[in-house]
Every structure is written in structure tokens, then in C-alpha cells.
Structure 1
Amino acid sequence: MSSTLPADAAPGSASSTALPFTKGHGTGNDFVLLNDPQGELTFDAAALADRRFGVGGDGVIRAIRSERLDEGRALLADDASAEWFMDYRNADGSIAEMCGNGIRVFGEYLVTEGLADIAVGETVSIGTRSGVRRLRREVDGWAVDLGVFRVEEGEPTVAADGLEVDRPGLGIDVGNPHIVVVLADHAELDALDLHRAPRVAPIPPHGANIEFVVPAEPLVQDGTGRIRMRVHERGSGETLSCGTGAAAAALAVRHFAGDTIDRWLVDVPGGTVGVRVTRAAADGGDGGVGGGAARVELSGPAELVYRGTLG
């Protein structure tokens, strides 16, 4: 999706310590983006993401060449074409493995900044802390292969403000950890207060994003499943959308429905994203689809809304 970017849309003046930035979002999941090919910038991600005293965002994404990071150099040994690394930090400054909405916005940023030439229909390799992800430019957005997913064992329980009783959850790993809770109806979903993080027992060792979903009625129309979702993201709080969370939510409902529905639409407060399960062979893991490990693809819009300079 092309974007119009008014210059100097944020307070600040250019100087030797100026920090240029761009603001972008994918279905309302918003990010501060920094162009730092050589890894020369010094920045405070939590301060940038602060909605009152900074630019504001659910996270900060730095575009850096893979060769300039230890994690990126390790990936180049397996995929030399992964020139760019998506260095992602949550709103609290903590480092995260991956972000499904963020990587689509990252692709739009690479093209708009002239860092990469990616035509509609072309695919590019992007380095992340979850490994190399293949990102494809589409007419109306981007699609990313999130890789092999895993349905976790066990049945954690989740407590949240607005829920009268704790609910069982299903762990789904799509390169970062998620726990999905299926609710009875839209009224129950709307009653949630996700300002405070849901409480999970047992506590996930690395934390988790928590998704609450309501299946559509009927669940499937014209071969496509549909669900509605809200999410509390680890390190960011409730967000208008979570790309990997949407994939995890669709995969959880798919699992409960017998692993037969491969196309999904996920409605989030910020819009709608697509999720697709593929049967292509993959290296390791088993998502429950015969004939090779199952992989999951996320698709949706990405928009850059303004740029500015801090400093």
C-alpha cells in the first residue's frame, strides 16, 4: 500500500543529534521506524514509544543490515539474501522475537525509504530473532510466511479483568509465544478490561501474548473461517491488532475445529487480516497437517502515516 508522508510532522529540529523517524501501522498496530543500516544510532525505544512524552507506538522497529548484528550474521549463513534485519522492540523497550504486523510495515518502509526494490508479487528475505521470514509484496499490502507453527501441550488457565471465572487457554507458538482463550460470545469479549495484563497459570517462562477470540456464527462461509479477537501483547499492553496473535488465534480455533479449515479472516479492533495454512514441506515441526510440516501465512495492509525528526 503506497503512503503519503508529510515531512517534519513531529516536533524537533535537525541537528547533529537529530533522530529522524517514520510512523507506520498495520491494522492499527503502530510502530516507530528508524533507518539505521550500519547500526550507528543510539536510541531509547521505551521513550520513543511513550504516547505522552515520545512519538508513541506499540513498538519500535529499526532497519539495520543483518551483517551489523550478531543475530543477523548467524542468519546470513543460512540465507545470504536476508540483507535486512527487523530489529524489533516492544513499547516497554524489551526485545521481541517477531511481529507479524510489524514486518509488513517494515517491508513498506524498506520500499518507501529506497532501501530495497520490491515489486508487487516479489518476495524478500527478512532477518528476525525468530529466523528468516519471507515477505511478499501484494497489490493491497504484504503477506509474510511466519513459518512452522506449534500447538503446545498442556492447558494453562487465564484470568482477566471482566471474566467471572478463569478460562482454559491453548498455547500456540508462531515464532513467539501465544495463549488463546475462546469465549462464548461478543458480549463477553467486549466486557474484558485488558489494561491490566491477564494472569496465566502456570506462568509462561518467557511470557506470552494473550488472545481472546469469539468464532463467527456460522464459523465457515465459502471455505473461509472467521473469528473476532482482542489481544494483550507482552511488553505493550492491549493493542488494536497483533499479526502473530491473529495467526495464533486462527490456528487455535482451527485446532478445535479439527484442523480442516486453512483460510481465515480475523477481525481485530483496527481492521481485518488474513491467515492461511499451507502444506508446503518445511524443516522440522508438525502443525498437524499431513504431507509435511504445516506453515502459516499472515496477510494484510501496511501504511506509513508520517515522518519527523526528534532532537
Structure 2
Amino acid sequence: MTELRFTKGHGTGNDFVLVADPDGRRPLAPSEVARLCDRRFGIGADGLLRAVRTDADPEGQARADGDDQVVWFMDYRNADGSVAEMCGNGIRVFTAFLLAEGLAELPPGGSLPIATRGGVVVVQRVAAGFAADLGRWSLEPVETTVRVRALEVARPGLSITVPNPHVVVALATAAELDGADLSAAPELDPVPAAGANVELVHPADPLVADGVGRIRMRVHERGSGETLSCGTGAAAAALAARFWAGPSAPSEWRVTVPGGELGVRMFPAEDGEHVALSGPAELVYSGVVALPDASTASTR
């Protein structure tokens, strides 16, 4: 058995197991990740964040793309052990973890680039906690029909990549949002090749106040189920709401999720429009857990 030191953290209720593996000596198999994230037999979490130096991990090195300023790779796994491109709440909690462990510094006015499977994400300190530039987003040219338990008819969904794949569904009433059953994965037609997170969205009344758009959201994450929050999902939901609202819609949004509130901001960049996500990050506790030796399990 191997003792694995971990920290538990969350961003607006989206919770994670965090593990420091600077030298890349203890990659985790999907079965190990699933065991750690199990809420009955493990620590319990929506996903796992492994901190490894980019020069100690082939994938991290590739994602850093030769930039020696990108020291850390966020190896993110869903609760079932599957690989995900990025995690908007996770990147903030990951940053808080690096700082708490003395693995990185982020002075006022500074920025911290982190390699992810969705590209390099730049994180900054803000009043609400941390803000992350999620990079360029894209509206996918596909019409997706979404069927959700407890909603009488299937609904059209807007497909957005940021950088995870999302399908966003607008609901007419708050009662529909509250009554939707997300205990099972929504049915998508056509089914995306890599799967997708599904966001259900209802606008606030009024939709825009003091130049800021406001929506409520619930989410079912692929590989994790319904979660209290999804960072890239909040960004996708705000982008969809702006798209539906038309050209006069604002570029700053507040997204209320069951676990709290997140800020989303769209802004121009050299390679196209980017979207930034801001919100809190909290480290809850640390501990040690026993796992079978790595040699007894596959790492992928």
C-alpha cells in the first residue's frame, strides 16, 4: 500500500481531491481516481486535480508548448476517472493549492500560467478570489436536441466549446429549472463524440441590471453527474444567454449556481474573443489515504 497525501477543496461547491506530484512519480489510474472521488467509499469529490511539473510529464510538456514560464500542469480527471480538457472551478482551486503548498507564487498584479489539456490558462488574483482566462471559445454548428427527466418535451440546445464541450438549454420558467431531474444524464441527439456537459439556464428578471447580465444555472457534468457548480459551464451558459439576447446584450454576467455565484466576462484578444471566469476557491482540509501500489494498476 502507498500513502497518498491529499487536500480537499472546492469552488462554489464544485469539489475536488488535490494531489501534489511535482516529479510525476505517482500517476493515478482511472480506477484509483474513481475510488478517491467516491462519496461513500472514498474521500468524495466531483473530480481530482493532480499537480505535476510540466517538465516531469510528457503531456504537460506538450501542453506547455516550450514556454518555460508554464511550470505546472493541471492533470484533471472527472469523478469516474475519465479525462477532461479543463475545469473552470478546478483551475482556481488548483491555484489556491499551489500557493498553499509553496509550489508557486502569485503576487498582486501578477499572473500564473497553468498548462491544461484545453491549453494554457492564465490565472490572476481578484477581489472574489481568482480569475482565469479560459481562452477563445467557439459556437459549434450543430443543432442538438436535449431530453431531460421531468421536462415534458425535448428542448433545443446550443453547443459551445470553452474549451470543454457544452450544450446549453434555455428554460421558460424557474419552476422548470428547479424541477428538472438531473440525477440521470440528459439524452442528446445527436450524441457528441466526446460527450458534453449540459447546462439548464433561466434568466433573472430583469435579465440585465446595471449593465450586468444575470442568469441561474444547473448542470449535469459528463463523468461526474449533477454538480453544485461548473466553471466552464457557467461561461458557456453566459455566452449562450448573450447569443440569445442579441447584439445589445452585455459582455459581463453573473451566473448563480446551487453552490454560489460566478462572474463571466467576454473580451477581445489577438486570436479572437476570450472568456474569463472569476469566483472563490477554498481549501477545506488535508489528510492521508492508503492506495494500492501503482505497479498493481494501469495508469491510463
| TM norm structure 2 | 0.93
- Match for residue 288 of structure 1? none
Deviations 1:241-289 (A, max 9, x none): 000000000000101112431000000000000000001222xxxxxxx
- Answer yes or no: is the 8 Å Cα contact 1:158–1:198 preserved in 2: yes
Structure 1 residue 155, shift from structure 2 partner:
1.6
Equivalence map 1:113-132=2 (5 Å)? 113-132=101-120
Separation in 1 of the partners of 2:108 and 2:281?
Answer: 14
1:301 alignment partner in structure 2 = 280
Aligned length: 286
Contact kept in structure 2, 1:22 and 1:34, CA below 8 Å? yes
1:28-80 Cα offsets, whole Å, 9 max, x none, are 00000001001112541000000000000000000000112222212333422
Q: CA deviation at 1:18?
A: 1.0
Q: Which runs of 5+ in 1 are unaligned?
A: 1-15, 283-292
| SS of equivalent to 2:90 | helix
Amino acid at match of 1:295: H
**Larger CA deviation: 112-121 vs 144-153:** 112-121
Partner of 2:220: 232
Letter of the 1:274 counterpart: G
- The one-character-per-residue Cα deviations of 1:9-35 (angstroms, maximum 9, x if unpaired) are xxxxxxx72111000000000000001
Of 139, 155, 162, 2:143 maps to: 155
Please name the residue that 2:155 is paired with. 167
Deviations 1:63-102, CA, capped at 9 Å, x for gaps: 0001122222123334221100000000000010000000
In the alignment, does 2:11 pair up with 1:26?
yes
AA aligned to 2:263 is G
Cα displacement string for residues 133-187 of structure 1 (whole angstroms, at most 9, x for unaligned residues): 1111224310000001001112210001011000000000001100000000110
Native 8 Å contact 1:79 1:132 kept in 2: no
Amino acid at match of 1:309: V
User: Over residues 179-206 of structure 1, what are the superposed CA-to-partner deviations in whole Å (9 max), with x where a residue is unaligned?
Assistant: 0000001100011110100000000110
Distance in 2, Cα, partners of 1:70 & 1:225: 41
Instruction: Quote the offset at 1:103 in angstroms.
Output: 0.2
Give the counterpart of 1:254 among 239, 242, 256.
242
Equivalents in 2 of 1:227, 1:168: separation in Å?
18
- 2:295 corresponds to: none
Specify whether residues 51 and 200 from structure 1 end up closer, same or farther in structure 2 by C-alpha distance, changes over 3 A only.
same
Separation in structure 2 between the aligned mates of residue 75 and residue 231 of structure 1, nearest angstrom: 28
Query: Per residue, is there more strand in 1 or in 2?
Result: 2
Paired-residue identity, %: 59
- Superposed displacement of residue 123, structure 1: 0.6
For the 8 Å contact 1:197–1:237, the answer to whether it is kept is: yes
Code of the aligned partner of 2:15: D
**Residues 121 and 138 of structure 1 are in contact (CA less than 8 Å); yes or no, is this contact kept in structure 2?**
no
Match of 1:38 in 2: 23
RMSD, aligned CA: 1.1
Query: Which residue in the other structure is 1:267 paired with?
Result: 256
Q: Which residue of 1 aligns with 2:177?
A: 189
